[in-house]
Amino acid sequence: MTDPIQAYAELHTAPEPPLLARLTRETHLQTLMPRMSSGHVQGRLLSLLSHLMRPRRVLEIGAFCGYATLCLAEGLAANGLLHTIEIDPEKEARILRYAAAAGVAGQVRLHIGAALDVLPGLVEEVWDLVFIDADKRSNDAYFEAVIDRVRPGGLLIIDNVLWSGKVLPAHTLKPNDKDTLWVRAFNDKVARDARVEPVFLALRDGLLLLRKR
């Protein structure tokens, strides 16, 4: 709440559900990089988009502690499933515990492992909604791995596309800052990609919304 604009946005956004507030607190107390969690305003946006779409199949690449997982699951169709991939096995127990507490354990399928190893096992699925929030150097690889399995009119959301503002042309890069180069290159690529219609939101660390044509 130190950023007055962020504080104002939170005050004028639907309240953070108590279970998610508890997960936020636990994440800040027990993880080294709690800022990786989606948080209140971004989480309510993910929930809103999911409610609007009522998706049958959702894919999340990069679950972290499961905050965005729960937000996306809020709008699932009655027979919907959310497949989420997390590379860190130490996160498994927390994700499953909170999915159970939210009453969506039966609709969440957690896969532990590297996403590019897990995705070939999900090729039979057709995705309505995809959320990519994993290692930034692989954004393009994840995008290409799933784009043909997203239905026409489906939505892909990519997180951290502002990369703390370092993607701006005026920002001077350090010689070893390859992550920023990868994020810039991906942003530039999908802005020109005829398969999708992009909308770039300067929300938090940047969200890129891509509607599959």
Give the domains, in start order, of the chain with CATH numbers: 4-212 (3.40.50.150)
Q: How many whole angstroms separate alpha carbon 157 and alpha carbon 149?
A: 15
- Dump pLDDT digits (tens) for 125-145: 999 999 999 999 999 999 999
pLDDT at residue 2, rounded to an integer: 65
Average pLDDT over residues 152-158: 98
pLDDT at residue 1, rounded to an integer: 47
Q: Count CB atoms within 10 A of the CB of residue 99.
A: 23
- Dump pLDDT digits (tens) for 12-40: 999 999 999 999 999 999 988 888 899 99
| Stated length of the chain | 213
- Please give the model's pTM, rounded to 2 decimal places: 0.95
DSSP character string of the chain: --SHHHHHHHHTSPPPPHHHHHHHHHHHHH-S-GGGS--HHHHHHHHHHHHHH--SEEEEE--TTSHHHHHHHTT--TT-EEEEEES-GGGHHHHHHHHHHTT-GGGEEEEES-HHHHGGGGTT--EEEEEE-S-GGGHHHHHHHHGGGEEEEEEEEEE-SSGGGTTSTTSPPPTT-HHHHHHHHHHHHHHH-TTEEEEEE-STT-EEEEEE-
Q: How many whole angstroms separate alpha carbon 7 and alpha carbon 190?
A: 31
Q: What is the chain's mean pLDDT, rounded? A: 95
Using CA atoms, how far residue 59 sits from 15, 17, 44, 159, in Å, is 25, 22, 18, 14
Geometric angle at alpha carbon 53, from 51 and 58, rounded to 5°:
95
> How confident is residue 76, by pLDDT bands cut at 50, 70 and 90?
very high
